[in-house]
Structure formats: structure tokens, C-alpha cells
Amino acid sequence: MECEKALNLAEILNAMEDGIYITSEDYTVEFMNLAMVAHFGQGVGKKCFEVVNDSEVMCPWCQAKSVFEKGSGVQSEIYIPRRNKTYRIIEVPIKNLDGSISKLNIYRDITYRKDQELKLRATEQDYRRLFENVAAGVYVSSKEGRFINANKALLDMLGYAEKDEFLKIHIQKDLYVRPQDRLNFQRMIEDDGKVVSYAVDFKRKDGSKLPVLLTAHTLTDHTGHVIGYEGICVDQTQITRMQQKIREGRDFLNNIIHSSPNAIIGADTHGKLIIWNKGAEETLGYSAEEAIGQDVRRLYSEGIAYELMRKMRSAEYGGPGKLRAYPMTFMHRNGSTVEGTLSATIIYDDNGKELASVGFFVDIGARLEMERKLRRTQEQLLQSEKLAAMGRLTSQLAHELNNPLYGIMNTLELMKTEIKPDNKRRRLLDMSLSETMRLADMLRKMLSFSKPDQEQRRPVDINTIVDEIMLLHEKQLREVDIKIELDFATGLGPVLASKNQLRQVFLNMVSNAKDAMPNGGLLKVSTAGNGNHVRVEISDTGTGIKPEYLDKIFDTFFTTKTDSGRGVGLGLSVCYGFIKDHGGDIQVESSLGKGTTFKIILPVMASEASAAGTA
């Protein structure tokens, strides 16, 4: 009977998930259940410290002596390096039939819980640090109109020295210049669950007005009822100041143009005059009212206008898009000829599309002085274009992007140390770190937009780049039920290109395809070549593009993602610029409701293309 009881007890202990073993007073292991054996290996008959800690001496955390002497159980949490795990250990004395005392040891693996606790604490610390240190005003408020919490930036923005004082104000009465704005805000946020960039005027403590952009979302209880709001307030004063500076810069530039004693003439892509300064009036005899809107070709002899544009687009007369000190004879209004030199430039948008041409005409006697003034004017023109294109984007994003980017890079570096170099996941981490570093480099370039890009181009294998991008996105695509079909042609010649720019192009294409298939679908990626060019086709079975949008998708700031807040209209325009800069082309075919195909065509390196043609 006793034997049967012992067998039943052993079966019960073996069925338990916790590791259980029994030791005698001399630390010899008398019994181990299956879970304990799975964790530490079979050790019945050995000393417990040999089994648990692979040691010849007592475990430093062992409390056996206290258990045997006091006859009471103890509990502890112990990290065991041999297993790289944390256990909750319960040690209790048990009395045997012969009167001897043994010790029952229960080992419960709590590694996952401990890891989760650490991650939770880290997340809470990160949130607290972000809440307190972010440059924008951050707050949590109740539905009834009281602030529950606010960071220092918001207190400083509104002129409050003490948080306690700020938390006592009534939001609708004491904060909003127009109390109705608070009601409008509540109506919008409770209808949509969020409010994005809502422009309102707040009152500082001293009563002065502060324009802000308000972005927030609702807070709900466990039943889904709205109990409050949390969000950020961005001080619009700096943006208004920046816009004023841009306007002042443009006005200053216009003053320079119209105050110049030399003729400055500008025409759009149709040849219609759009700039005609005082110098042009004095030099050629036509007033600005008479000249603006007229065809620029009336100023030249027949055929000269086309010849000038041909020379400006060639590389022989000062570089593509420029014409330097070209001898020119204009016709004065009174019929006389005006001899001098013409320097001209083509103005491009961010995608390389021609917008206009500007010419600077001087008489031969004043050439040297005029060249110095033209250089200064040209630099101011280019700088104004850069400010106009990038000012609004960089003013708010610069400081907010650097910190999370470097946080991601540091995290990836730490994760690499925990994975062996030959592990496939290590390759994914390396690629992720590389892409993050590239993004940081892009941010740096955006902030130094006025400096020319000196990135060196090297021979690259298109198949390798596309394969890396698909490997990086494979898990994300499969998680949203998007199937992948790859078809890479062999024997493709290398392309002389910037690897980072091509990566950005393909990343953008794959990301757009993913967004176009919110309910899953099929993504096909293939490569092909003819010896002179390589072609990458990226096809999706998504929502497609409306026919009226096909001619606009590569335009700067054009986007169809305005409702989701995920797009600013730069992705495809930047990709188009990169491919065009590499001597290639992007073509698009789309059918609404059926899908879209992008074809990226790039030239093979000259030596490889020549060899293919000879063969």
C-alpha cells in the first residue's frame, strides 16, 4: 500500500510543470520530477549543488541549513547563470516515515515574468522621460475641463512657474481665448477619436495670446467611455516667425532684382516674360507693363531663342541648365541694337522639372562688375528656392527625429551583441541598423540642404539590393496577408549607382504596395535586362490609382494619404528624382481596384553594356 502511495505521489509530481526535487540532510538528491530533469538533467544520487549549479561546493543562495535547523519553509528568487534563467524557489522540510528529515525543493521558472517587468519599467521610464523632455507642450486632461498632468514645456509656453497652479485652471474659461473653440475641439475628438493640427489661440498666464496647433486623442475607461484627452500643443509663434523671415527674404530678393541697374529677364517654359526689372526697362526701352506676358522671342533675331535654350541644356557653355557670358545682341524698342553678354540659367523644381529661365544681360563695358553682382543674385535665388521648399518641413521635424533615430540605432546595436554573427536574424538586424543609419544620414542631408551632395556612386547588383529589401519586409508583409513572388533574372550587368538611394527607391515602392493592399494580396517583384538596361517591376493587387492621378503621382507634395496622416507627398517625387539622376526612368501602369505596376529602368555601366553589345 505504501509503495502504491509513493508511486501515485511520483506520478503527481511528474505531472507538474514546476521543477521539483527532494534532498536528504547530506544534500543528496533522492528524487527529481520530469520537469526538473528537463531543466537540469538527471541527478538522483548526486549532490544537489552538482545538479543545480554544476558546482563542487554549496550553492551561494542555498538555505538548506536554515530549513533543516528551524524546520520551516523559505522562498526566494534566484538567477542561475548555468541556465540563464530566474527561478522562484520554495524550500520546505518534510518528515520521512523513519523519522529522518528531507527537503522538498520547488523551482518555478519566472524568467519571462521578470523580463516583462523589466521591459515595463523601461517603457514607463521612456514614456516619463519623453513626456518631460519633449520640446512641445504635452498634457493629459479630463473630459470636464481640468488638466491632470502637463510637462514643463507646456508650463513654460503658457507662463506658469508651478504645476499645481496650472492644474487648477479651468480649461475652457482660463485657457481658450475663444471658449467655443474648446467645445468644437470636444465635438471633433469625440466624433473621430482624435484631433490633428487644430489651430486655436490660448491665453498665457499674463493674458497675452499664444497661437498653437493642438493634436490629441481620447482616453477611455475599460468600458470604452471617453474619460479624458491627451495630446500635444505646438507653439505656432516660431512657425509664424519663420514664415515672416521667408517672406522678408523673398521681398529682399525681389528688391535686389528690381533695383539692379542691369537687365534681368525671366520667362516661363512657354516663353512668356514673367520678370522684367528696372534695368531691363532702361536697357531695352520697354516698360514692365508692356513686357510682362509678351513672348520673349520678340527680343531676339529669328531662331536665336531656340539656339539659346539648346546651349543652356548642353554641357559645353557652363554646364547643363546654364549659359555663361554669351555674346548677345538685343533689339531696343527704338529699333537700335544693344550689344552685351547674356548669362542665363534654368530654374528647376525638386524633381528636376524645368520651371523657368532667367537671363542677366549686361553691356560689355560693365561685364566684370555685373558678373560679381549676378553671382550674388544667383546664390540668393537658389537659397530662396531651398528655403521655400524645405523651411516648413525642417522647422518642426529636425529635433524630434534625431533622438528616436539614435535610440533605435543603439537598441539594434545592443540586440546584435545577443545574436551570433552567422544567425539569419543577425543579418536582419544588420540590415535594419544600416537602414536606420541611412535614415539618420538623410536627415543630416536635409538639414544641410544648401550643401551639395557628394555621395559616391559604385557598381551595384540590382538583384542583391532588391533581395535585401524584400528580406527586410518579408515578415511585415506576411503579417498583413500579403504573399510574395520573386523572379530575379540572372546575368544582369552592374549599375553605377548610389546604393542608399536605390534602397530608398525600392523601400518606398514596397511600402506603397503594402499600403495599397490593406486586406492582403499578392506582391510580385521581378528583374530583367537586355544588356544595356536593367528593369525592376513591382506589381501589387491593391486598390490601384485613379486615372486622373497618374500624371501627378511624381509631383512634389502630391499624396493620396492625407486622410491617414501618413504621407506628405515626397516619397515618389524623391524616388523619381533619384532614378532620373541615375539616367533612368520610372513608368507606372494602374487599374483602379485591380492593382499597380511600377517599372524602374536603369542603364547598365558603360563598359558592361559595350561588352554585351559586342557579344
Q: What per-residue confidence (pLDDT) applies to 292?
A: 86
Given pLDDT bands bounded at 50, 70 and 90, which one contains residue 372?
low
Between 54-68, 371-385, 463-477, 540-554, the lowest mean confidence (pLDDT) is in 371-385
Q: What is the 3-state secondary structure (H, E, C) of 257-289?
A: HHHCCCEEEEEECCCEEEEECHHHHHHHCCCHH
- C-alpha grid cell, residue 401: 527625429
Q: Which domain holds residue 432?
A: 389-438
- The phi and psi torsions of 416 (rounded to 5 degrees) equal -60, -35
Q: What per-residue confidence (pLDDT) applies to 557?
A: 56
Question: Which DSSP letter does residue 490 get?
Answer: S
* Domain at 142, CATH number: 3.30.450.20
- C-alpha grid cell, residue 247: 517672406
Q: Which of 119-133, 190-204, 216-230 has the highest mean pLDDT?
A: 190-204
How many distinct structural domains can be found in the chain? 5
Same domain assignment for residues 231 and 272 = no
Residue 395 has pLDDT above 70, yes or no: no
- C-alpha grid cell, residue 594: 485591380
Residue 369 has pLDDT above 60, yes or no: no
CA dist 157 and 150 (Å) reads 11
Same domain assignment for residues 380 and 494 = no
Given pLDDT bands bounded at 50, 70 and 90, which one contains residue 204?
very high
Same domain assignment for residues 468 and 605 = yes
Q: Is 150 left (phi over 0), alpha (psi -120 to 50) or beta?
A: beta
Pick 4 or 483 by higher pLDDT.
Answer: 483
Q: What per-residue confidence (pLDDT) applies to 400?
A: 66
Q: Is residue 65 part of a domain?
A: yes
CA dist 199 and 449 (Å) reads 29
- The phi and psi torsions of 398 (rounded to 5 degrees) equal -55, -55
Please give the span between the terminal C-alpha atoms of the chain, in angstroms, as a whole number: 92
What are the start-end ranges of the E strands in 421-481? 458-460
Listed residue (339, 281, 342, 262) closest to 309, CA to CA = 342
Contact 517, 479 (CB under 8 A): no
Same domain assignment for residues 467 and 609 = yes
Residues near 282 by Cβ (< 8 Å), separated by ≥ 6?
A: 261, 263
Q: Is residue 243 part of a domain?
A: no
Contact 90, 106 (CB under 8 A): yes
CA dist 305 and 298 (Å) reads 9
Same domain assignment for residues 148 and 103 = no
- C-alpha grid cell, residue 109: 521558472
The 3-state DSSP class for residue 315 equals: coil
The average pLDDT across 567-573 equals 58
Q: Is residue 281 part of a domain?
A: yes
CA dist 504 and 484 (Å) reads 20
- To the nearest 10°, report the CA torsion of 398, 400, 402, 407: -170
CA dist 79 and 88 (Å) reads 9
* Domain at 558, CATH number: 3.30.565.10
Q: What per-residue confidence (pLDDT) applies to 376?
A: 60
Q: Tell me which of 359, 387, 415 is where a domain ends.
A: 387
The average pLDDT across 239-260 equals 79
Length of the chain: 615
Contact 146, 165 (CB under 8 A): no
Given pLDDT bands bounded at 50, 70 and 90, which one contains residue 568?
very low
Residue owning grid cell 513654460: 156
Q: Is residue 241 part of a domain?
A: no
Q: What per-residue confidence (pLDDT) applies to 603?
A: 92
Pick 288 or 567 by higher pLDDT.
Answer: 288
Q: What per-residue confidence (pLDDT) applies to 459?
A: 92
Q: What per-residue confidence (pLDDT) applies to 16?
A: 85
- To the nearest 10°, report the CA torsion of 272, 274, 280, 282: 100
Q: What per-residue confidence (pLDDT) applies to 266?
A: 84
Q: Is residue 524 part of a domain?
A: yes
Give me the amino acid identity at 322: K
Q: Between the CA of residue 3 and those of 29, 80, 137, what are the distances in Å?
A: 19, 35, 73
Listed residue (71, 73, 64) closest to 92, CA to CA = 73
Question: With a threshold of 0.85, does the pTM exceed it?
Answer: no
Same domain assignment for residues 333 and 406 = no
Q: What per-residue confidence (pLDDT) applies to 451?
A: 41
Specify burial of residue 154 (Cβ count, 10 A radius: 0-12, 13-18, 19+): buried
Contact 448, 485 (CB under 8 A): no
Residues near 552 by Cβ (< 8 Å), separated by ≥ 6?
A: 558
Q: What per-residue confidence (pLDDT) applies to 341?
A: 73
Q: Is residue 248 part of a domain?
A: no
Listed residue (458, 472, 467) closest to 490, CA to CA = 467
Residue 564 has pLDDT above 50, yes or no: no
Given pLDDT bands bounded at 50, 70 and 90, which one contains residue 70?
confident
Q: Is residue 329 part of a domain?
A: yes
Given pLDDT bands bounded at 50, 70 and 90, which one contains residue 614?
very low
Give me the amino acid identity at 458: R
Beta strands 495-497; 585-591: pairing state:
unpaired
State percent of the chain over pLDDT 90.
16
Same domain assignment for residues 100 and 9 = yes
Q: Is residue 245 part of a domain?
A: no
Q: What per-residue confidence (pLDDT) applies to 281?
A: 82
Same domain assignment for residues 185 and 283 = no
Same domain assignment for residues 481 and 608 = yes
Q: What is the 3-state secondary structure (H, E, C) of 209-267?
A: EEEEEEEEEEEECCCCCEEEEEEEEEECHHHHHHHHHHHHHHHHHHHHHHHCCCEEEEE
E strand or H helix at 303, and its extent?
Answer: none
Residue 562 has pLDDT above 60, yes or no: no
Between 80-94, 178-192, 247-261, 365-379, the lowest mean confidence (pLDDT) is in 365-379
CA dist 273 and 499 (Å) reads 42
E strand or H helix at 524, and its extent?
Answer: strand 521-529
Contact 508, 581 (CB under 8 A): no
- C-alpha grid cell, residue 522: 499578392
Any idea what the Cα angle at residue 74 is, between residues 68 and 76, rounded to 5°?
130
- 409-448 tens-digit pLDDT: 778 877 877 888 778 788 888 888 888 877 776 666 555 4
CA dist 20 and 37 (Å) reads 9
- To the nearest 10°, report the CA torsion of 431, 432, 433, 437: 100
Residue 221 has pLDDT above 60, yes or no: yes
Q: Between the CA of residue 204 and those of 168, 175, 451, 474, 573, what are the distances in Å?
A: 14, 7, 40, 51, 42
Same domain assignment for residues 374 and 394 = no
Residue 534 has pLDDT above 90, yes or no: yes
- 576-595 tens-digit pLDDT: 878 888 889 999 998 888 89
Between 350-354, 361-365, 455-459, the lowest mean confidence (pLDDT) is in 361-365
Same domain assignment for residues 379 and 404 = no
Residue 489 CB neighbour total at 10 angstroms: 13
Given pLDDT bands bounded at 50, 70 and 90, which one contains residue 380?
low
Question: Which DSSP letter does residue 83 get?
Answer: T
Instruction: Name the average pLDDT for the chain.
Output: 80
CA dist 45 and 31 (Å) reads 8
Given pLDDT bands bounded at 50, 70 and 90, which one contains residue 390?
low
CA dist 209 and 75 (Å) reads 62
CA dist 385 and 362 (Å) reads 24
Residue 7 has pLDDT above 50, yes or no: yes
Q: What is the 3-state secondary structure (H, E, C) of 152-193?
A: HHHHHHHCCCCHHHHHCCCHHHHHECCHHHHHHHHHHHHHHC
Same domain assignment for residues 375 and 396 = no
E strand or H helix at 522, and its extent?
Answer: strand 521-529
- 353-365 tens-digit pLDDT: 888 888 877 766 4
The average pLDDT across 597-601 equals 93
E strand or H helix at 366, and its extent?
Answer: none
CA dist 244 and 237 (Å) reads 10
Q: Is 41 left (phi over 0), alpha (psi -120 to 50) or beta?
A: left
Residue 368 has pLDDT above 70, yes or no: no
Residues near 125 by Cβ (< 8 Å), separated by ≥ 6?
A: none
Q: Tell me which of 235, 262, 279 is where a domain ends.
A: 235
Q: Tell me which of 79, 94, 109 is where a domain ends.
A: 109
- 101-112 tens-digit pLDDT: 888 899 988 888
